[in-house]
Amino acid sequence: MEQQKRRPWRRWVVLVLMIVGFIVGGILVPVQPEISVKAENLLGEGKTWLFGIPLVNTLPTLFVTIFIIIIPLALWTRSSLKKSAGTDLVPRGVGNVMEAFFELLYNLTEGSAGTKWARAIFPWFATIMFYVLVANLLKLIPGFESIGVLHPRVAEHASELQGWQIYTPELSKEYILAPFFRGISVDLNFTASLAIIAVIAIQYIGFRAQGWGYLSKFFNTRRMFKVPFFGAMDFLVGLLELISELSKILSFAFRLFGNMFAGIVLVAIVAGLLGKFSILPAMIMMFELFVGVIQAFVFGMLTMVFMAQATQGHGEHEEHAEASAEAHEI
């Protein structure tokens, strides 16, 4: 049997892209961008927009993310599912992808929280995870964090500019580039807000599952007078639980922010060091894709697991410990 001849055309495509990138990189010399922890103000430092709020470049990205989720994705998925419901009930296209994705998330929720609380936890888990995933992937679109307005480093010494400009090394000495769009996951305001929402949702599920008895997890005084020593220990453990619950806000916020911000720094450093070899920084973007997906999964999974834990009561454990203490006294 004659073997099929291999044609490694993909190697030639990569080689051509490297050559083109080298040539273009020689004409348009890459400039290492300013790495800023806080989001840049598009109107300039100290200027405000509506109600005294600065127009930071993560705000347009927030609106674009919401628009993409509601208009193209939601409506497109709804249309696909309605079309399949009217024919052979077999979802196709984007409807099939979205159904498989959310079915996977629901199965994960049901496996961790059980059938009873899966329906209550799933909307929170799926919404947070899907939104963070779209936000992380959106920043990989060409033009994000690379097209924007130029702000003078020193207003008195900057020359006047008109029209569109290419951000050259000479121009970077006088101006700082504030991109129109910046990934919202690298804005600590967004990650902290999302963390607060996640922690509040966890407490809501806990109260819904256990009622006011959920507070005994943090303020445990059931054995304070029956067994003073162990009761005091239970109360101290409850205070530690309260501190641990509040620290989840910091953990959620800085984990997502730190990992996504590190990606920006990594891409900027690699692009600045390699210069003309533009294909190599492009390969680093594949790593950014991997990190974005993983961080969305981790953020959503942690929220779901903590919600599942909040539905579990501590009564049986306490009753068992109390019985053991009374038996020891006897």
- 253 to each of 124, 199, 247, 249, 261, how far by Cα in Å? 17, 11, 10, 6, 12
3-state secondary structure of 149: strand
Task: Print the domain residue range for 84.
Answer: 54-145+181-329
Residue 33, domain member (yes or no): no
Query: Is 141 in the same domain as 261?
Result: yes
Q: Residue 183 has which token pair? A: 């990934």
Residue 330 has a pLDDT of 45
The answer to the question of residue 34 being in a domain is no
Is residue 247 domain-shared with residue 176, that is, in the same domain?
no
Task: Write the pLDDT tens digit of every residue in 206-242.
Answer: 999 988 888 888 887 777 677 777 778 878 888 888 8
145, 173, 153: which is closest to 44 by C-alpha?
153
Domain boundary among 130, 165, 180: 180
Q: Please list, residue by residue across 2-40, b when 16 or more beta carbons sit within 10 angstroms of its beta carbon and e when fewer do.
A: eeeeeeeeeeeeeeeebeebeeebeeeebbebeeeeebb
In a domain, 5, yes or no: no
Phi then psi for residue 175, to 5 deg, are -130, 155
pTM for the predicted model, two decimal places: 0.82
pLDDT in tens, 267-324: 777 766 766 555 666 677 788 888 899 999 999 999 999 999 999 865 544 444 444 4
Domain annotation covers residue 230: yes
**Which residue reads 């097209």 in tokens?**
147
Q: Are residues 124 and 211 in the same domain?
A: yes
In sequence order, the β-bridge partners of residue 176 are: 151
Q: Which residue has the higher pLDDT, 7 or 51?
A: 51
* Same domain as 197, residue 281: yes
In a domain, 244, yes or no: yes
* Residue that has been written with the tokens 């205070």 in this structure: 239
**Per the structure, how many domains does the chain have?**
2
Give the DSSP letter of residue 56.
B
Check pLDDT > 80 for residue 78: yes
For tokens 């077999």, what's the residue? 90
Structure tokens given for 282: 């492009």
